[in-house]
Every structure is written in structure tokens, then in C-alpha cells.
Chain A
Amino acid sequence: MSRHLPRYLVQLLGTVIGVVTVTFFLMRAIPGDPALYMLGDYATSDSVAALRAKLGLDRPVIEQYLLFMQRAVTGDLGTSVVTGQAALTEILHSVPWSISLAVSGMAIAIAIGVPLGVISASRQGTWVDTAVMIVALGGISFPVFWIGLVAILGLSHWAGLFPTLGASSEKGLWTSLHHLALPALVLGVSVAAYIARLTRSAMLEVLSQDYIRVARALGVPERRILYRLALRNAMVPILAVISVTFAWSLGNAILVEVVFSRPGLGSTIMKAVLARDYQLVQAGLLLLATAVVLLNTTFDALYVVIDPRLRSR
């Protein structure tokens, strides 16, 4: 593990620099003058020029890029136009809300998706497999915001099980959990469908290996084959599935936050998009992409811990 650490760090650093670069050039694609945009139609030409100078927009693109890099390293991602606060502060402020949603959603998704995938792979071709796959196909095909709306309608409004909207304004663990439950469930179910499908194919892949056939031929009990041999060897692909879906579930989390009017990164970014607060959008994009990179690198390192075969590389 420690032998590989430098390699991971270099790789991580390279990708993060790449992420900052792509974000910079992507946001430069905005047509028009961000300074004029931020100040509105009644801005004097002096104040526009002043803001342009402050943002560095009057300099050559390469210089702007280097300045952006330099500021990003020191954690300065610009200022929110709407609140006047530092964009990073604004974004970090909403992170706890999103982490609680994303983590609980992912936990539900893994708890549902992985067992379903394993079960349906172990009974490939039976009605259990077919039923699970049909449900999972539905799960990946309905838009997550629609699932959210229907859940609000059915579970909150008709059944009265959950609060309809928002996060609790009052303090207290129980109320916040109560408000978190339905959004997390909606996110979890939609992501679980993906995980179940991918886990199934990862398991099928392992079950088709020669060593499984040999184990069967030797008369090893099926249960032991499944849990001791197949599942352990499928751990790496299943973890890969989880890391891939996590990045993807962030997009769903934005929509879930908006549907449930929950505060969080998604809502903050959405508000920034609608207010054309481009430095805030930029900061949010940068932070989420960096989080994904960190997570992927952590998973890459985990594979090595789990699978001794990868250590020799």
C-alpha cells in the first residue's frame, strides 16, 4: 500500500490540475462579459472596468488561467455575486446537507442493490432473476425527480408518513432524520437499481471463471462457492460499480434536493445558475469534481488492499 502511495498522489494531483483547467476553460465559454453581467444593466463603465480589473478579465487568457490556478491553490474561488461572500465559503456551507443526503442515499442503495444483484446472478434465468431485473430496469428508467414527486404524493400526502418538503428548521436529531428519510429513500432506490444491474453482471462474470467450475466439479457446496469464492472475487468489480455510481448519483442528488426543496449543494448551485452567479457555479463544479476524483483515488487504493493480485502491479 505505502509503496503505491506516491503514485496515487501524483495521479491525484495531475487529475485535480486537469479538473481546475477544464473548469476554467469551460466557464470561459460564457458568451458576453461576466463583469457587465454581474453588475447589471445600470452599471457605469467605470465600475465595469473596475470589476473587470478585479476579476482579471482585462488580461490575456493565459494570464487569467495562471491567476485562476494560483487563487484556486490558496482556496480563493471568487466571490458570490448575490451574497458577496467568498464562493468557497458559500459552497462549503451547504456541504453538510448534501453529505448527509448522499451518504444515507448511497447506504440505502448499497444495502438494496448489492444483495439484489448477487441474488439475481446466483439464480440466473429463474423468475427471481427476471423479476429483479424488471424492477431494476424500471428503477433506472424513471426520472429521479419524478420518483420524488410520486413519493411525496403517495407517502407524504396520502399516507402521511413523511413531511412533504424541506429540511427541518427546528433543531433535533429526530426531526432532521425524519426530513431526511424520504429524500434519502428516493435517491437510494434510484441508485440501487443501477447498482443491482452492475453487481449482477460483475457476479456473472466471476461465476463464469474456471476456478468456479473447478470448485463445482470438486463438489464444493453451492452456498460456499457463492459466498466464499464468487462474492470475495467480485468485491473489486462491485466496489468499482459503487465508485462509478457515486459520481453519477451526485447528479441525481441535485434533482432530489430541488424536488424536496432541501438546502444543499444542489440547491445552492441551482440558485447560482438561475442568478447567473457564475463564480459560484464554477466553485461548485470544481468542488464536486474534486470530490469525485478524491473518491475514485481512494477506491483505487482500496482495490489493492482488497485484492492481493493487484499488489504486484
Chain B
Amino acid sequence: MSNDTSRPALEADPASLAKSPGRFAPLLSHPGLMTGAIVLVVLVIVAIGAPWLAPHSPLKTDLMAAFAPPSLTYPLGTDQFGRCVLSRLIWGSRVSLQVALSVVLLSLSVGTLIGAIAGYAGGWTERLLTALTDVLLAFPGFLLALAIVAARGSSLESIVLAVSVAYVPRVAVVMRAVVLTIKSRPFIEASHAIGMSHLRILFRHVIPNAMPPVIVIATVSAATAILAEAGLSFLGLGVQPPIPTWGNIISDGQTAIINHPLISVSAGLCIAVTVIALNLMGDGLRDTLDPQMRRQTGARMF
């Protein structure tokens, strides 16, 4: 019986098949992906090691040394309060990475769930959830985040919540599109046939198989989250001073940009390097993980 080859072979779950040793090889040989990953690892080390790496306290003011030029004591000079710019940049990385990580976790888990349920359940549930995501997508992301922060007051939690609310519908849209393509595949039908419950099928087979394109959009959303946090901080709606963030360092330096451009310029470069690293990873993951899915979800990834 078990050797009956006349039966059409049931397709196995690709997610469980993919655990072969050669799976990560294409990831390791993709130059952009590796560059992005290495830069990010360095940034994470800097953020975690900030207390030991920063030459000065980021909050210590020294009005006598205001706007000091770069020197051995102050490698990037000081700002208008005599605070060490380099130390502030190093500590600022913490806020950016914290926001990026929290936004990814929050928007990914909520968005994945909404998208998966919409795609898998179909019917009225799907229509309702799709309508809701469509409406949320009509709000320009940054403006939505701005309004939420304005309504809740500025704090790290508000920013994370605001940017996540703007990103959940984007993840959900992609997730639903992918789940729709997975739902009709034979291994899902087989799972039904052997009597698996809907919940089990959803969590064991549908969601794991839909992850590749969602991981790609999560990387992109981390990049956007960092830009959004910087924008909100720049507008004075982010994490409140004196706590350093890259956005409020740019805003602090703005008043003195003509004579002391280094402050704003260096903070902008920090943001750009992080965002470039995340985008490189996103592009690389898209190339390697699932080129076929890109076709099905199309430009709406952004």
C-alpha cells in the first residue's frame, strides 16, 4: 500500500522540506545582504555597548566647551550645550534600533495574524478585514503616526504604537495575498483530509509558508520605522530631550547648521547608514528567499 506509486504524489509542506543544510547558502553569498547584515550587527553591538563605547556622558553639559571643534577629547566636537556629539550619536542608536525592533515585532505579529485570518477564512471575515486595511492604507503613514503621537503624547511607546498602526495594514495586505496562493495548494487540502483543525493548519502550515515575503516587508518596515522616528523626533514629537535620538540631534544642530554643520550632518549619516543596511538586507532577502512571491504580491509591498 505504502509503495503505491499510481496515486498522485501529495506535495509535502515546503517549509518542512526546506530545512536542508544548503538552505542558507544563497543568503551567505549575496553581497548586499551580507553587507547589510554586517553593518547591522556592528550597530547592535554599538547600541548595546553604548555605556562603555561612548567617551563621555551623552547628557553632560559643559557650556564652556559649547560648539567645540573636533578634537581628541571630543572626536566629533560638541553641540550648543557642550555635549559630546559622538557620545550622543552612540546613545542615539539605542532609540532607533529599539523603535525598529519593536515596530517590526508588533506590526509583524498583528499584521500577519490579520492577513492570515483574512486570507484563510474568506467570506465576510475577509471582506471586513480587507475593508479595514484598505481604509487604514488610505492614511498617509507618516501623517497617521503624527496624529497618533499628537493624541497620545510623545514617548517611546507612542512612537512604536503610531508607526506600527501605520504598518500593520501593509503587512496584512501582503500576508493575505500570499495566504490566498497557499490556501489552494494540495498540502493544505491534505491537512484537511487527515482531520487537522483550522487553527492548527493556520499556525503549522499556512503562516510558516507565507513568511518569506512577509520577512522582506518587515525589513523594509524597520527601515521606514527608523525614518519615521527620526522625522517625529526632528519635529519635536519623538522621545523627549535631553535623551539623544538621531532625529533630535539633527534638530538641535539645525539652528547652528551654517557654522557647525557637522552635528546635523553626522546624525543624518547615522540614520542613512542604518536605513541603507536594512534596505540592502530587504533587497537581498527578496532576491534570495522567494523570487516567485514577489511577482504575486507586486508593488504593493511598499
Contact = CB atoms under 8 A, between A and B. Distances in A.
A and B interact physically: yes
Interface of A: 14-15, 18-19, 21-22, 26-27, 29-31, 137-138, 140-146, 149-150, 152-153, 157, 194, 198, 201-202, 205, 237, 240-241, 244-245, 247-248, 250-252, 254-255, 258, 269-270, 273-274, 276, 278, 281-282, 284-285, 288-289, 292-293, 296
Contact of A288 (B143, B250, B280, B294): B143
Contacts of A202: 299
Given A26-B148, A289-B138, A244 B300 contact: yes
B250 A146 contact: yes
A92 B89 CA distance: 40
Given A138-B276, A142-B268, A205-B295, A19 B135 contact: yes
A258 B151 CA distance: 20
Contact of B223 (A141, A145, A245, A252): A141
A202 B131 CA distance: 26
A141 B272 contact: yes
Contacts of B230: 143, 145
A164 B146 CA distance: 26
Q: Which of A21, A245, A270 has the most CB of B within 10 A?
A: A270
Q: Which 6 A-B pairs have the closest CB atoms?
A: A251-B142, A18-B135, A146-B268, A141-B275, A273-B150, A250-B140
B124 interface: no
Contacts of A157: 258
Contact of A29 (B140, B151, B250, B300): B151
B148 A29 contact: yes
- Chain A binding site: helix, strand, loop or mixed by DSSP? helix
Q: Which of B139, B146, B234 has the most CB of A within 10 A?
A: B139
Contacts of B132: 18
Contacts of B275: 140-142
Contact of A143 (B257, B271, B295): B271
A31 B152 CA distance: 7
Q: Which of B132, B147, B153 has the most CB of A within 10 A?
A: B147
B231 interface: yes
B107 interface: no
Contacts of B142: 248, 250-252, 254-255
A285 B234 contact: no
Contacts of A248: 140-142, 302
Q: Which of A21, A137, A141, A258 has the most CB of B within 10 A?
A: A141
B210 to A, nearest CB: 21
A57 B142 CA distance: 28
B299 A240 contact: yes
Interface in B136-182: 136, 138-144, 146-148, 150-153
A150 B272 CA distance: 13
A19 B150 contact: no
B300 A251 contact: no
Interface string B289-302: 00000110011101
A22 B136 contact: yes
Nearest to B165: A26
Nearest to A29: B151
A141 B237 contact: no
A62 to B, nearest CB: 19
B124 to A, nearest CB: 15
A22 B234 CA distance: 27
18 contacts: A18-B135, A26-B147, A26-B151, A30-B151, A138-B272, A140-B279, A141-B223, A141-B275, A143-B271, A157-B258, A202-B299, A240-B299, A250-B142, A251-B142, A251-B143, A255-B142, A258-B234, A289-B139
Q: Which of A18, A143, A152, A273 has the most CB of B within 10 A?
A: A143
A255 B236 CA distance: 12
B150 A255 contact: no
Interface string B197-229: 000000000000000000000000001000100
A31 B153 CA distance: 9
Given A143-B227, A254-B146, A288 B152 contact: no
B41 interface: no
Given A141-B223, A142-B271, A143-B230, A273 B135 contact: no
B48 interface: no
A18 B143 contact: no
